[in-house]
Structure formats: structure tokens, C-alpha cells
Structure 1
């Protein structure tokens, strides 16, 4: 039975994971629609999704078996009432943090690889390589720093042994602050290049806004910094009877939102073909139904109606095909052929 904040954690975890999975599936479907080969950006976001699934499953184990989202219970002598569950909580915290940073880093690398796919100029591609190197260095640095934040490593979940640990509050705050900084660097990297595209200003604004939706991840990261600061402040006050499994809840469900929204944001710019196909099918279905209704009500002969309907459907198909060809021809003059590369 779920207690306290556990229903919220389960609901948010599953909902955002499903959204991330759907986004990646639609991204691969969009490549198939346009008959495009899968590139490094697609495979990298798939790796990010796999890591995100691992992070989410880990959080659910922490919740179900480790008691995350419930109040910590103590005996009169100050010992924990359920030490086995708390051991699971401590181990899953360690795994959760170690998995989170590669997930975030790989997601941002996928976004930059997408920029390289879209914008073919050598100078911009070199700038993307610099950004990829920065994200790789950030990911490796903080993953290793968190893994070896206490020595020996198993001291991360066993407080009874002698160990040497870094200042975790400073480590996490630095990791999150630099995470948000690299988020903004990645977000604004393509704005200038998009503005150079030979298309209408309205279309440019739409594309820029679509890319900047990734800013949602940065907002979540800032929220997480706020809650993490509160957690460590509370732990410093309540040294002996800290309600650890309760106060970590908000930090971790915001963290699970961040990793899955990151995957979603990385996929959004690639979903235009799916939108176009859906819009076309929806429009065609509506017109087809209207034509059938009109002919059925006005025609005296059902056979004649079917002939007219088939003829008009064929005409509608030709119309949609010609419109698609016209749209493609219009984009041929674009400097970077944006719609063909996304």
C-alpha cells in the first residue's frame, strides 16, 4: 500500500517515462516517414532513454522497498525501526545519482548532434564539437565525483565504517549549477543559425521557440537546486532524527521529471513529419466524410455516388500530393534545407 508522497512519486515517474518513450518512438517514426537514415543524434537519444528508464525504475524501487515518500520511523534509542528498508533506500540513492548524470549529459549531447545534422557549415559544426566535448567532460567529471564521493565506495550506504567523504552539499550544488549553465549554452547555440534560414520570420520564430522548449529542463533544474538546498539545511538541523525518506521526496521526483523532459525536449524538433502526416490524414478524413455525406444525400443512385466519390477522392489525393511537392520545392531555396535535415 502506498503512503504519504508515494502515490505522487509513482504517478509522476510513470507518466513522464511514458511521455519520453512515446517521444522517442515518434522520432524514429518521423525518420521512417522521410526515408532518412538514423544518425548519431537518434542513437544517442535512444541511449538517453534507456538510461532514463533505469533511473525511473531505480526511483520506483527506492519508493516501494526503501520507503521514499514516507516518514522515517525511529526507536526510542534513536535507531531506525526498519534498517533493512533504509539500507535499500541508501543503496538506491547512490545508484540513482550515479545514473542521473550520464542520462542528463547524453541527452544534451544528442541535442548538439542534431544541430550538427541540421546546420552544415564547418564553423558551426566545430562549435558543436566544442560543446560536445564540454558536455562529455561535465558528464564524466560529476559521474566519477559522485561515484567516489565517499571512500571506500560502499561507505555511501554504510555509515558504520570509517570513511572519507567530500562535502556533498557543495558537490551537488556545483553539479546542478553547471548543469543549468550548460543547458542554456546548448539552448541558445542554434538561434543565430536559425535566424539566417531563408524562410519567413514567423516560421523562424516558431522553430526557435520549439528549440527553446528545452528550457523547461533548465527550469526544473533550478527548482531542484532550491529543494536540494532545503534538504541539506534540514539534515544539518536534524542530525539524529532526520526524516530522510520524506525530505528527499520532492528532490527526487523533480529529478525524474528533469531526465524525462530532457529526452522529450531532445525529440520535439524532429517530430514535424509526424505532425504533417497526422494533419494531412485528419484533413483528408474530414473532407472525405463531407464528400460522402454530400453525395449520399444528393445522388439518386448509390452506384453513381460511389463513382463520384472515388473520383473526388482521387482528386483530393492528387491535391495533397501536389501541395506536398510544392512545399518541398519551396524549401529547396533555403540555405540549409532545414526541413530536409530535421
Structure 2
């Protein structure tokens, strides 16, 4: 079995190994990119240039456009400012929302800058995050100190999907709404219960600055502030929780803390070239320190554990598509994307039954 799996692993996700990166909007001249890799990046890890490109792209496009909205408000017709604001918001979120959040995600787990330039991390965690509805310094507290430490389990992971019926659209909506409305109070509270007092203070300070700045800007330029800060806050809050819901939509009620049974992995999909290989979610939870560009190889080296843990692998489809099929009751269609590399043999009907078992509410 082991030798057959090793031979199979060299080809199983070859598409992901060979796809060009598509997270950034535009590249930089090669000499400039090489200088950045050599001088700024930790360990001269050249693949992390793609995370840095996302940051640079936003600084050169969305930031000037956002500033322009504030400059134009009060100088031109308000209706026209609103049209420009809507155009800005569509460009900003459709172009960068997914790539920025995942760049922030992976660079929070594994910092990309060398010691000399480490302060540059604040471009994302203190500045650009605000344009995506994320208060300064709060992402680490929510995602790493809470979500990864508690591993999608209740009651201390507020983003846990366990207490919900995960093929229910109503429960899906309630899950996202709870985050958008209550996370600002619940996160500091849960960190306090875990005695993470420094993170409590950071979270409260970040939230306070964020909402204070938005309130002030709104009194000065309400239209620009609505499109630059307020709408992204609501859109991204729902989008981030939709993403977490779909990535943890399958949880084995008999083994909910098993990383191989509390999420799934998606391979050979174009979305992996646009989201820093985020389809490899089992690998990420098993070892969060593995760099995003090493996840496909890490998957190959651990294929036997998929067999032993009866894990879900889907091929040719992304995690958001998996979640959408589940929420739309299309489990038969989803079964066609399931990849068996030695897990328990099931008929299509049996596989759909297993899907349903891993969707039930876990009290």
C-alpha cells in the first residue's frame, strides 16, 4: 500500500504543482522583484514574493483610489461620488478581497520579512486590513489564538461550525450574522476567559481605533467612508465566515477534533492558484507552520494518513464550490468530485450517506 501510494502521490495533484500564481493583479519588473526577494524576504524565499505583490498591488491601486474618493467628495456632485464609490468598491473587493485575506492569513502564520524589514508587516496588519473591514491587530487573535488553538471546537472557538446543521441555509446565515454583530464583544471576552490578557487589550485597542476613525471620517466625508470602510466591513465579515463555514462544513460527530475529519482538501482546481493553495485545508490545520507553497508536496507526503483517517479529498473543485453544493442539496453531484486514494470503499449512495452524517449538528 505504501509504495503504491508513493507512486500515486507524484501525480495525484500535479496540476497544483505546475499552476502559475494568479493571486496578484499585476507583476513587477523582474529586477525589482529579485531585489525584494534578496533584501526583504526571510530566507530569501522567492515564492513569498506573491504575497508581497498583493500588498504592493493594493498600495498602488486601491489606496490612491480610496484617497481620491475623499478628495472628490464635496468638490463634485454627490451622486457622481456615489457612482465612483460603487465602482471603487467593486474593483477593490473583486480584485483583492480573497487574495489579501489569504496573504494576511499565511503571512500571519509564517512571517515573510527578514528581521531587518519585519516592521513592514504592519502595512497589512495595521493599515491595509482596515480597507477590508478588519480592525488592526485583531486577525492574529481571532484566527490563531482562537480558531487554530481551539481547532473548530466549542465553546472556545467562536467560529466553530460544530453547533450548526451545516447543510442548512438558515443556520449558515445565523452563523455569519452572529460573527458580524457579536464578534467585537465575544472575541475579547473569550480571550479573557483563556487568560490571554495581552491579546484582549490588543483586540479592544484595535477595535476602538478602527471604529473611532470610521466615525470621525463619516462626519467629514460620509459617502467616501461608506464605500471605503463601512460596506467592506459588512461584506468581508460575511465573506470570511462563509469561507470558514464551507471549509469546516464536514465534521465527523464521532471524532470532531481529528484534523482529517473536521475539514477536507481540494486539489487540482484553478482556485488553488488564486488563493495561495487554500484548498489544502487539512494540511494547514495539521501543521499551520507549513508555508503555503509547500502544501501540495506536504499533501503528497502524508497521503497514507488520509487513508488511515478516512479523510475527504475532492479533485477539480474548490472549497467554496464544495460548500455551495452542500448548501444547495447537491450531494450526488459533489460525490462525483470525491477522490478515493485508499480510504474506505463506498458506493455513491454510501458516500452521500457519509456526507450527511458529517453535516449534522454536534452539541
Do both proteins adopt the same fold according to a TM-score greater than 0.5, normalized to the shorter chain?
A: no
Q: Which TM class, normalised by the smaller chain length?
A: under 0.3
If each structure's helix is expressed as a fraction of its own residues, which one has the higher value?
A: 1
Which structure exhibits the higher relative contact order, with contacts defined as CA atoms closer than 8 Å and separated by 6 or more residues?
1
